[in-house]
């Protein structure tokens, strides 16, 4: 491939590898993951004339069926509970938005960040963690089920988009980033900074929007949330700027403040650490053990909020009742397909010869949206 820019038949200039290298050298920090340093793809492909490798990964994810199905998958609240709250797709977009803010401020590779963020929850089955727990129990003798590992199965095998190879043939860096989500013990070398910012953005997004959705659903009150230090201190800062603010105005302003203050806390620490260590490459940043984490005070306040959300929202009787119904339906569907594999679509029947029947049934069910599995349940268990 030519190393200088070429001119297409239409006359438009096409950037070459060299142009991408120069562009990123000018825009990105030395410790960012530069596209030219990518370790490539499992099935080698020619470079695209005007899209970098991580931009292509991002586009492949957005055009995948598994990504589109996130729009009808539960985050915390099922669609019977209204239309205000987040779905798995809008959660994903909030994560991508916060992660890009980190990426821009730290001069990281935003294409890679966006690919990782848009992909991070793609392996979620219907009914959120309730669905995940049921499939995990159904597959307990066969390695279990985990949404982070499932994403890797989708990327490598389940998504059918290309004649030349199975899956999406994503860059090694995207696959490794997703693989690091499977084992979150934090042992070993830290991930690329682009992977780390998606992790922290995920936590900021769900801690904030799950509380907002719980307020809107009437499961908790603003007064109760304001008993938590993270919320009360954010409200104090809002009221310093806008004395007398109350009700929904206060709630919205506190939500903005919560995201902003958490992002600022992480950026301040991250920027200081990077300035002090000055890693000369993405590899050097990993070798130096740089971890982007909230300060200890913020981490404590976040875990108080998370404990509150766990007890008062995720375990709320209304949410638990829906969880039980969803889990019973999913389990019955699993058992039906295992007993009657002829009901499976041909693709999964064929796949079961290599992967085993239980795993293939789980792959089929995990790919369903909440809406589709409920329709199928009604159809198959009509009597
Ligand atoms: Mg997430």
- pLDDT tens for each residue of 81-131: 777 888 899 999 999 999 999 999 999 999 999 999 999 999 999 999 999
202 alpha carbon – ligand 1 mean position (Å)? 5
Measure 120 CA to ligand 1 centroid, in angstroms.
6
Span from the CA of 260 to the centroid of ligand 1 (angstroms)? 19
| Predicted model pTM | 0.93
Distance (angstroms) between ligand 1 centre and the Cα of 350 equals 31
Residues within 5 Å of ion ligand 1, judged at the Cβ atom? 121, 202
Q: How far is the CA of 161 from the centre of ligand 1 (A)?
A: 24
How many angstroms separate the alpha carbon of residue 91 from the centre of ligand 1? 7
Cα 270 to middle of ligand 1, angstroms: 22
**pLDDT tens digits for 247-290?**
999 999 999 999 999 999 999 999 999 999 999 999 999 999 99
- Say whether domain 51-380 belongs to CATH 1.10.3210.10: yes
How close is the Cα of 56 to the center of ligand 1, in Å?
A: 22
Q: What is the Å distance from ligand 1's center to 324 Cα?
A: 22
Q: Cα(167) to centroid of ligand 1, in Å? A: 22
- Per-residue pLDDT at 100: 98
Q: Residue 189's pLDDT is what?
A: 82
How far does the centroid of ligand 1 lie from the alpha carbon of residue 10, in Å?
42
The CA 328 to ligand 1 mean position distance, Å, reads: 24
Q: What is the pLDDT of residues 26-70, one digit of tens each?
A: 999 999 999 999 999 999 999 998 899 999 999 999 999 999 999
Confidence of residue 75 (pLDDT cuts 50, 70, 90): confident
Distance 100 CA to ligand 1 centre (A): 15
> Does pLDDT of 4 surpass 90?
no
Q: How far, in Å, is the centroid of ligand 1 from the Cα of 176?
A: 17
- 3-state per-residue secondary structure call for the chain: CCCCCEECCCCCEECCHHHHHHHHHHHCCCCCCCHHHCCCECCCCCCCCCCCHHHHHHHHHHCCHHHHHHHHCECCCCHHHCCCCCEHHHHHHHHHHHHHHHHHHHCCCHHHHHHHHHHCCCCCCCCHHHHHHHHHHHCHHHCCCCHHHHHHHHHHHHCECCCCCCECCCEHHHHHHHHHHHCCCCCCCCCCHHHHHHHHHHHHHHHHHHHHHHHHCCCCCHHHHCCCHHHHHHHHHHHHHCCCCCHHHHHHHHHHHHHHHHHHHHHHHHHHHHHHHCCCCHHHHHHCCCCCCCCHHHHHHHHHHHHHHHHHHHCCHHHHHHHHHHHHHHHHHHHHHHHCHHHCCHHHHHHHHHHCHHHHHHHHHHCCCHHHHHHHHHHHCCC
Spacing, Cα 379 to ligand 1 middle (Å): 31
């Amino acid at each position: 491939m030519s190393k200088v820019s070429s001119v297409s038949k239409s006359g438009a200039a096409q950037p070459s590898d060299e142009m991408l290298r120069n562009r990123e050298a000018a825009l990105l920090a030395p410790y960012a993951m530069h596209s030219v340093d990518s370790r490539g793809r499992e099935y080698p492909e020619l470079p695209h004339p005007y899209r970098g490798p991580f931009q292509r990964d991002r586009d492949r994810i957005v055009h995948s069926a598994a990504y589109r199905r996130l729009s009808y998958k539960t985050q915390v609240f099922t669609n019977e509970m209204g239309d205000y709250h987040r779905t798995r797709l809008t959660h994903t977009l909030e994560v991508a938005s916060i992660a890009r803010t980190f990426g821009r401020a730290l001069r990281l590779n935003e294409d890679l960040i966006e690919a990782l963020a848009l992909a991070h929850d793609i392996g979620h089955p219907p009914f959120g963690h309730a669905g995940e727990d049921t499939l995990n129990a159904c597959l307990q003798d066969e390695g279990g089920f985990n949404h982070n590992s499932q994403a890797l199965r989708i990327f490598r095998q389940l998504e059918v988009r290309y004649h030349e190879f199975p899956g999406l043939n994503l860059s090694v860096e995207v696959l490794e980033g997703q693989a690091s989500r499977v084992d979150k013990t934090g042992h070993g070398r830290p991930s690329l900074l682009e992977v780390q910012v998606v992790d922290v953005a995920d936590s900021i997004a769900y801690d904030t929007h799950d509380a907002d959705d719980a307020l809107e659903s009437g499961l908790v009150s603003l007064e109760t949330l304001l008993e938590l230090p993270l919320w009360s201190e954010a409200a104090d800062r809002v009221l310093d700027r806008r004395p007398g603010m109350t009700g929904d105005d206060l709630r919205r302003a506190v939500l903005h403040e919560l995201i902003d203050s958490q992002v600022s806390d992480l950026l301040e620490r991250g920027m200081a650490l990077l300035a002090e260590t000055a890693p000369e490459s993405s590899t050097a940043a990993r070798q130096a053990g740089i971890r982007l984490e909230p300060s200890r005070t913020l981490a404590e306040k976040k875990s108080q909020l998370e404990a509150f959300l766990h007890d008062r929202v995720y375990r709320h009787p209304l949410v638990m009742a829906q969880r039980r119904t969803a889990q019973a339906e999913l389990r019955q569907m699993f058992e039906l397909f295992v007993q009657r594999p002829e009901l499976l679509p041909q693709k999964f029947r064929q796949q079961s010869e290599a992967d085993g029947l239980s795993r293939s049934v789980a792959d089929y069910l995990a790919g369903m949206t909440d809406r589709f599995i409920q329709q199928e349940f009604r159809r198959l268990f009509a009597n």
